[in-house]
Structure formats: C-alpha cells, structure tokens
Structure 1
Amino acid sequence: MEDNKTNFQYGILSFPLPDKASHRRILHVDMDAFYASVEIRDNNSLRGKAVVIARHPKETNGRGIVSTCNYIARQYGIHSAMSAQEAYERCKEAVFIPTRHAYYREVSQQIREIFKRFTDKIEVVSVDEAYLDVTTNFYQEASAQKIGQKIQYDIYKELHLTCSVGVSYNKFLAKIASDYEKPAGLTVIPAETAEEFLEKLAIGKFHGVGKSLESKLLQAGVTSGKELKALSYADLVDHYGKMGRDLFFRVRGIDRREVKASRKRKSIGKERTFAPILLTHEELYRVMKEMTEEVEALVDKYQVNYKTVAIKFRYKDFSTHSKQTPFVFWGERRWQLYRVAKGLIDEVIDVNRGIRLLGVTVMDFDELIEEQVNLPLDDKRDTDFTKK
C-alpha cells in the first residue's frame, strides 16, 4: 500500500516524496483578455460592447480565427481559436478588430518594466503572462501577497489595464491561483492548505490537463483532485505517461520547477490518441483541422514564425512514424498549416492500417518574441483561498 504522505512506490521500489520547497514565494501574473483590454483602453467607445480580436469574417470570406475577446464576448460563448465566422454568428453585434501584434508587444514590454522593479527572476510565458520569484526581492518585502497587490496597482495606475495574480510557493499552484478569481483577482494558496485546495479542484482545472486527457480521466472516474490523489504512481505513469507522473506530484502540491529568466521554445505541437482507432481519411482530416487551429492559436500567442511542419502518427500495431516538410508563409497562415498537414497525411499515411495517434508540430522558429500578460478592467478583487 502506498503511503501518500511520505513515500510512493513504483514496482517493488519505494521512494520518498520530494520536498515541497514551500519557503518559496512565486507569483503568476496573467493579463485578462490582454489584446481586447488594450483596444478598449485606447477606444472608450468600445466599453460595454462585445470585442473580438480578429478580422471581420465579411472581409475574409468567412476565414480567420479569434485571437482573444473580452469578457462580454465570452458570455456569448466566443473564445480564442474559434473561427471568426462562428463568433460572428454567436454575436452579430460584436466589434471585430484586427490584431496589432507590434503594438501589443510594446505594451507588454511596459508591463515587464513594472515587474523589474520587484525582482530580476522573471519568466515570461507569453506577451500577457509571466512568473515572478519574489522569495527575495528588491523591496525586501516578506509578503508575496503585498507585492502582488502592488504590481496590480502599478499596472492599473500607469497603464490603465488590470491583471489577475496568483500567489503560492510553486509555479503550478500560482498558475491555478491566477485563474481562480478573474478578472482583477488576487488569490493566495498557502502551503498549509494547498493539498486541501487541490483535492476539491475539478480535474479539468489542473493546468496541463487538456480536453482529451480530461475526458479519459472522467471516464476513469477521476472528477477532482481527491480521486486523482487516490491513484498510485504506477497507475498514473502506466496509463498517462509523463503527464501522469507530473499529476501525481502536483496533486500533492509538489512542483520544483524554477522560475527561469529566459526560456526558448523550440517547437509547438498538439497530438491526440484514439480509442477506437481511426480508419478513414475524413476522421483524420477533421482531427487535423482541429489541431492545426489549436497550434496556430499558440503560435499567435507566442508570436513566432515557423519554417517547418511535421506530422507524427502511430498505427494500430504501435509502429510510430513522422514526416516533415518546409513551410513557406504566404497569405492566411492558419489555413495553409492545415493544407500542408493534410498534404502530409495524404502522402505518407496508410489509413487502412488503423491510426491510434496523430500529431502536428511546427518548428524552426526564426523569431522568438517573449510572451503575454492578461489584464482585467473593472471590479478589482482580492481573494485569499484561506477565506473561502
């Protein structure tokens, strides 16, 4: 029997759980609906309206993908990576605004200058998102919560934007905390109550659990952290691989990843496994179209240009193969990515052998631009989980 408090087993071997390093003070700052918030800030006539960051589908013959939208638009079910045409059908009164990436990067840089007042341990995740390690900081302030409040105040006062902040002792918990109370929230998850918090958390709220894995876990009866924590290390690793390993530790409040001042992303990709296996080109095309839209949403978020596209596939007999091709950008990139990936499917996949895994990856970035921070606009709130 596995001792969930001090040890875990894998096979016949028993290992001590890693130390939580709960002395650390980590912030995750997330700018709410960043692109849309910047546009609303700069154009007061947009306040109170549904704002969608994408070219209007009437201008593109129905093409295009939503980069992001404000919270009013989200009430209509609009979200990032949705087609602009569907967004328009959901809310015909929405205001569509093309993305201004260079300008958003300028604003993002202004936000980072505020971060630098507090610490030099800043890991930029995207133009609207960053981790800060304030265990030691330039203000010699012991309370990470107070630093989070000060960052929110400075960003709002100087840039007229809002952000949600998560405070905890590791990156995983800080990320979850920043999503907990949006917009303009500040949520603290202290070490003393972290495991209690995670046991009550819905499985889909665990950072890193996508829709596909969430579906598999729900089918296995895992609806929350409590059921997840009841699974053994061996069960999670054997069924879910590296992600299962990570979840075993994270549901116990363990995440020893450091806040790294610089990070270089080498590729962006998505893959899915299938049970039952896929046996038709139509099924492969449908899944690939969904994945290429998700990949391009991430490319848009991380603001990179890629020069190579690769697909990965696994047959029913578990043999795994891949094929890549150069990518030359012209016109509407999202639809090109799907066409290139579809072409690779047609070129190398024998669908009659049955497909149990399909993936698509873009790589060879010729420009990497640091990432984003999400900011809310009204209703400034301060949430401490201990008060919930």
Structure 2
Amino acid sequence: MLLMNRKVIHIDMDAFYASIEQRDNPDLRGKPVAVGYGEKRGVVAAASYEARKYGVHSAMASVTALRKCPHIIFVMPRFDVYRSISNQIMQIFLEYTDKVEPLSLDEAFLDVTVNYRGLRSATMIAKEIKQKIFNRTRLTASAGVSYNKFLAKIASDYNKPDGLFVIEPDKAEDFIEKLPIGKFFGVGRVTAARMVELGINTGYDLKQWSEVDLVREFGKAGIGYYHFARGIDDREVESERVRKSLGAEETFLEDLNEIVDMLAALDGIAREVFRRAEKRKFLARTLTLKIKYADFTIITRSRTVNYYIKTYRELFELGKELLLQVDDLEEKKIRLMGLTLKNADVDSTHLPVDGFQLSLDFKD
C-alpha cells in the first residue's frame, strides 16, 4: 500500500501572453486579442478570454481565427517580455519551495509538502502565491491543489480564470468517476474520440477496464490511464526536469512542391535544431520529421540510430533520409516542416503498480 501524503500545486497563468499585452496596452482590454501573426500563414500563439468566446484558441490558423472573430486584434509576440515576467513568477514559487517543475513559461508544478514557510495548508500557499503574482505583475493565475500531479493539473483548469480548486483525498474517487474523459490529463482529442467509441465517457467508465485491455487498446499509455482512473500518480515534482525533446518547425509563406525547395527548408530547420541542441548540450538518438500538407494533413517519420546525433551534418542527413522516404512527395504541397530530437534514453513512464492509502491535510 502506498501512502499518498504529498501536497502538490499546479499554477497556470490565465491567457498569459494575451493578458500581458492587455495589461501593457489599455486599448486592448476587454477586446478579443490574439498574439501571433495575423496574415495568411500566421498561427495564434495565445488568445484572450474575449477571443476564446468566439472559439479562437492557440495553435489555430490566423485565417480561421479571423473567420470566427472578424474583429479580433492581432498583436506580434514579445517573447523577451514573456520570459522576463515568467522569471518573476518563478521567483515567487521559490519563496515557498525548491521543488518547482516548470512546464512552460506560464505553468509549473510545486511540491509544498515541506515548505520554507512551514505552512500546513497547501490551499493557503496557493492563495498566497496567486495574490503575490497579481501584486507583482498585475496578472491572474489559476491554481489546482491535490495529492498528485495528475489531479493538481486537472484542478487548475476547473475554475479558470483566476480560479482555485482543491481535490481532497477523500473526494478524489468520486471526482474522478464523474470526470468527462476529455478532461483527463494525457487524453488528447483523438484518444478521447476513440474512448467514446468504446463506451468510455467518464472516469467511472475508464475504471471498469482492466490494465491489460487498456494497454492492448492504447499501448503503453494504457498503463497511465489505468492508474489515473484510480487517482494514482507517483511522479515526483522534478526541479531538475530532464528535457525529453527539442526541435524547431517552420510554416512557409508559400507551399513547397519542389524537392530542391524542401531540402533548402530542411537545411535551415536542421541548423536551428542543431543550434538549440548545442546550446543546451542536448544529446539524442531519435529524430522525427513532421510535415503538414496544404490540406492540413499531418504526417511524421522517425528513426532511432545507435549513436548520439552530435553534428549538424548527421542531423541534416538523417532528416533528408526521412524526407525522401515520404510517399508522393512531389504530388502534394507542403505548408509546414519540422524536426524534433528525442532523448531515447529517457523513459517518461513512472507510475505505481500498487493500491494506495490517503492521508493528507489540505486545509487546516
């Protein structure tokens, strides 16, 4: 039996990039704002809550966003500003614990089981952090509090924006059973659709499946789904998180349909990936090529080699090999291309295999 007595907080900034732009430009407040390039080949990097009401969201093509919300205002991103504010927020986290695991510029996990303030209440810590973030940046954040990362992540999204939601141990089972399957962390749109086809609509439905059957249906991810349905997640908050992948991609101003142009584009992307890998001393043995065609169909090709990819030439030649393996390459136009290095030595699955007993004080 595992004793689950951790106190985990997930902090997620509310529409981070867009909120910064609205904070810094009063004319944008209360209006639908998209951070990104608003022309034909643009993509939305972030959308304000006013824009989200029209169905606009991050990673959406700018032309689609304009179709959904013709009066949307596009603002070019200022990543240096976003990184600076992210660092401010990180310093707030570190006032409470050194067990902080950033997931991106705008979200992080904190393990506050033991904290610098000696506070017993994780909920109180979350409230203090939210208030400090607002006082120092004039931005709002949402917080989720629970006994593991899986539930804390779900909780932070429950009352957005400016929300705080707590999933206590004695209420977790009921909460998970009623949770729509699309809300499960790690269940994407395609997987959710497949689960619905199989009659899995809620956490309760998922819980009826054996681990063997889930693995047969969903592969290795089925192990995680089996445990998440039972509220089990023993992943630590990793302050020194191992980077598992690194890459770059480019959306082209004009669709590519000539091999020579594709190879030229691949060369530029490979050089950028190599630059990033060299800067971070990132070693990997797996390379993945991503292609998005003009009709928005996406394909990927991967290869794992028995050596670390250490030079630009190795990276480019492997990418070229993957590109030339793509069927009908000259018959379709390419809108986007990307390369990603993956660290094949890192196993991201770390889930328990036993039952558990809960004992945790969140509020007192």
TM-score interval w.r.t. the shorter chain?
0.7 to 0.9
2:152 counterpart residue number: 174
Offset at residue 38 of structure 1 (A): 0.7
Secondary structure at the counterpart of residue 165 of structure 2: strand
Relative contact order (C-alpha < 8 Å, sep 6+): which is higher? 1
Contact 2:215 2:222 in 1 (8 A): yes
2:183 counterpart residue number: 205
Relative to 1, partners in 2 of residues 1:233 and 1:91: Cα closer, same or farther, differing over 3 Å?
Answer: same
Q: 1:27 aligned to 2:9?
A: yes
Secondary structure at the counterpart of residue 68 of structure 1: strand
Offset at residue 265 of structure 1 (A): 2.0
Tell me how far apart the structure 2 counterparts of residues 266 and 245 of structure 1 sit (CA, whole Å). Answer: 20
Offset at residue 264 of structure 1 (A): 3.3
Tell me how far apart the structure 2 counterparts of residues 114 and 321 of structure 1 sit (CA, whole Å). Answer: 41
2:341 aligned to which of 363, 366, 373: 363
Unpaired runs of at least 5, structure 2: 248-268, 270-274, 279-285, 292-299, 313-317, 329-336, 344-361
Offset at residue 262 of structure 1 (A): 1.8
Tell me how far apart the structure 1 counterparts of residues 73 and 301 of structure 2 sit (CA, whole Å). Answer: 44
Q: Deviations over 1:261-307 (max 9, x none)?
A: 021323269xxxxxxxxxxxxxxxxxxxxxxxxxx9xxxxxxx9469
Give RMSD over aligned pairs.
Answer: 3.2
Q: 1:50 aligned to 2:32?
A: yes
Relative to 1, partners in 2 of residues 1:344 and 1:95: Cα closer, same or farther, differing over 3 Å?
Answer: farther
Offset at residue 327 of structure 1 (A): 12
Alignment of 1:130-169 (within 5 A): 130-169=108-147
Contact 2:288 2:301 in 1 (8 A): no
Contact 1:306 1:362 in 2 (8 A): no
Alignment of 1:1-388 (within 5 A): 19=2, 21-57=3-39, 62-267=40-245, 305=276, 310-311=288-289, 322-323=302-303, 347-349=324-326, 362-363=340-341
Relative to 1, partners in 2 of residues 1:310 and 1:172: Cα closer, same or farther, differing over 3 Å?
Answer: same
Give the aligned residue type for 1:205.
Answer: K
Tell me how far apart the structure 2 counterparts of residues 150 and 321 of structure 1 sit (CA, whole Å). Answer: 46
Q: Deviations over 1:222-267 (max 9, x none)?
A: 0000100000111111211221100111111110000010213232
Tell me how far apart the structure 2 counterparts of residues 24 and 140 of structure 1 sit (CA, whole Å). Answer: 14
Q: Deviations over 1:69-128 (max 9, x none)?
A: 111101111111111111122222111011111110000000011111111110111000
Relative to 1, partners in 2 of residues 1:47 and 1:350: Cα closer, same or farther, differing over 3 Å?
Answer: closer
Tell me how far apart the structure 2 counterparts of residues 228 and 267 of structure 1 sit (CA, whole Å). Answer: 30
TM-score, normalised via structure 2 length? 0.72
Give the aligned residue type for 1:56.
Answer: G
Tell me how far apart the structure 2 counterparts of residues 266 and 133 of structure 1 sit (CA, whole Å). Answer: 21
Offset at residue 345 of structure 1 (A): 6.9
Offset at residue 161 of structure 1 (A): 0.4
Give the aligned residue type for 1:177.
Answer: A
